[in-house]
Amino acid sequence: MKAKKFWSLLLAASLTAGALAGCGGSTSGSKETTSENGKEATENSKAPGDAGSTGEEKGTDTPAASGEQSSDGQSPDEQSSGEAVTLDFWNVFTGSDGDILREIVDNYNAANTDNITINMDIMPNDTLQQKLPAAIATNTAPDFVLFGIENIAPYVSNDSLEDISDFWETTGVDKTNFLDNVVDLSCVDGKLYGVPMQYNVQYLYWNKDMFTAAGLDPETPPATMEELAQFAEKLTDESKRQYGLALPTNVTYMQFLWANGGDADDPDKNENLLDSEANVKTLEWLQDLAVNKKVTPMNLTGPDADTMLQAGQIAMYMSGPWQINGLKEAGINFGIAPCVSGSAGAFSPAGGCSYMIPKGIDDTKKTAVYKFMKYWLSDDTLKEWSQRNGFPVWSKSLMEDPEIKNDEVLNSISKATEIGRSYNLGYSLASQIDNDVMIPMFEKVITGAAAPDAALGEAVTAMDKVLGK
């Protein structure tokens, strides 16, 4: 029964946690290897996490820092040919980001001095989450995996991941060079189960040309919920199928609840926090925007919002860094800003992906995986990933890199990253809360299917049921 329950939990998580996690591309398509062509990127459906200040500047033991290290981050006296080691690596990067990841892995295979070869299989997230628990149970799991951090806790609860808390000391990588909040997202009960690969929050994208046409300053995005509503109304022209703000259904809008001092639940106390006047007011504001002022297309899906944004039909949209390359390719003149603030401040659900090692790996292969993880955390590799994919920088030494400082997009998203906040990350009931409570509530409000107070009341009851109250 435990294995069956775990399987169901992971499958449910995979279907609801993709977009916020910011891992991979589309959720369709067959398995790929490093030699195959990549797919076009599409936005995931949802994402969680949180951020922190950069702290004091520290260097890392990377090729860029020392000038005397190889591509695997080793100094010359550490390098050795050794026996050949082949690693199987599963991940969920089915979009164009998978092509870039494949290039980096291929470069590592060619350049590392330890005879390590990584065979990479790419598959949709729901496929991986179906296959991995069974593979772990039958000792046929890959040597390491890469997927959203929201899935770490369920695997840990089933004793299916290796505790890699010794990674920093074993490899000599300076843990203090990385934002604490990013590293902490891969920890459960104080133990490290994943090495961060990327980190993200949701941002506010705006179309500067549409701002200009509407008489708004193209360099000044809305900073508050009140301004967001005013701008969205001014930018909407239904006759031209032009909308001020995209509000897709089948997602959550925690940034708005938090901004006004509301919340959904407290995972530490297993407590329902939905029943509040702050949440009622936020949902009334949201329904007024969507139903009365009609600033968003009705019954909009995430992929449809992506398409309309890239077609110049959406003026503002809250999404993750996976939008950046598509907007550049589409020739959209866009800006990126933090999510807007309310009476309690500005916040954004954050998330990311980590490299993890399934339970049962032997010491030789674990050591080889550690070497690739160390390579990934070098400033050279992290810099390439951020510059080519538009994901924020979370290495303190890399934040001081002149090219990063002078990159307008990376600078913008790095500032936006500072308001990241964890939304039920590591909580075993997270997926059920989204599916049974939060997504239905927001959908009813945005589509006008229920009055805000009624939708909230139903959600409170549903939350109590999920929490076992």
Residue range(s) occupied by CATH 3.40.190.10 in the chain: 85-201+351-422, 203-350+427-467
Quick one: pLDDT at residue 284? 98
**Alpha carbon distance 354, 148 (integer Å):** 7
Q: What does the DSSP assignment read for 111-153?
A: H-SS-EEEEEEE--HHHHHHHHHHHHHTT---SEEEEEGGGHH
25 neighbors 93 (Cβ within 8 angstroms): yes
User: What are the tokens at 236?
Assistant: 């909407």
AA letter at 291:
V
User: What are the tokens at 355?
Assistant: 């490299």
Quick one: pLDDT at residue 81? 55
| CATH superfamily ID and name for 85-201+351-422 | Periplasmic binding protein-like II (3.40.190.10)
316-319 and 420-421 strand pairing = unpaired
**Alpha carbon distance 399, 403 (integer Å):** 9
Quick one: pLDDT at residue 41? 31
345 neighbors 44 (Cβ within 8 angstroms): no
**Alpha carbon distance 31, 50 (integer Å):** 31
Q: Please report, in angstroms and rounded to a whole number, the separation of the first and last CA atoms in the chain.
A: 23
Quick one: pLDDT at residue 134? 96
132 neighbors 123 (Cβ within 8 angstroms): no
| CATH superfamily ID and name for 203-350+427-467 | Periplasmic binding protein-like II (3.40.190.10)
What is the chain's pLDDT, residue by residue, as a tens digit (469 residues)? Answer: 444 444 444 544 444 444 444 565 433 333 333 333 333 333 333 333 333 332 333 333 333 333 334 444 444 334 445 789 999 999 999 877 889 999 999 999 999 999 999 999 999 888 999 999 999 999 999 999 999 998 898 899 899 999 999 999 999 999 999 988 899 889 988 999 999 999 988 999 999 999 999 999 999 999 999 999 999 999 999 899 999 999 999 889 999 999 999 999 999 899 999 999 999 999 999 999 999 999 999 999 888 999 999 999 999 999 988 888 889 999 999 999 999 999 999 999 988 999 999 999 999 999 999 999 999 999 999 999 999 888 888 999 998 999 998 988 887 787 777 788 889 887 878 889 998 999 999 999 999 999 999 999 999 999 999 999 8
**Burial grade of 403 (CB within 10 A; 0-12, 13-18, 19 or more):** exposed
Quick one: pLDDT at residue 261? 98
User: What are the tokens at 448?
Assistant: 């006008």
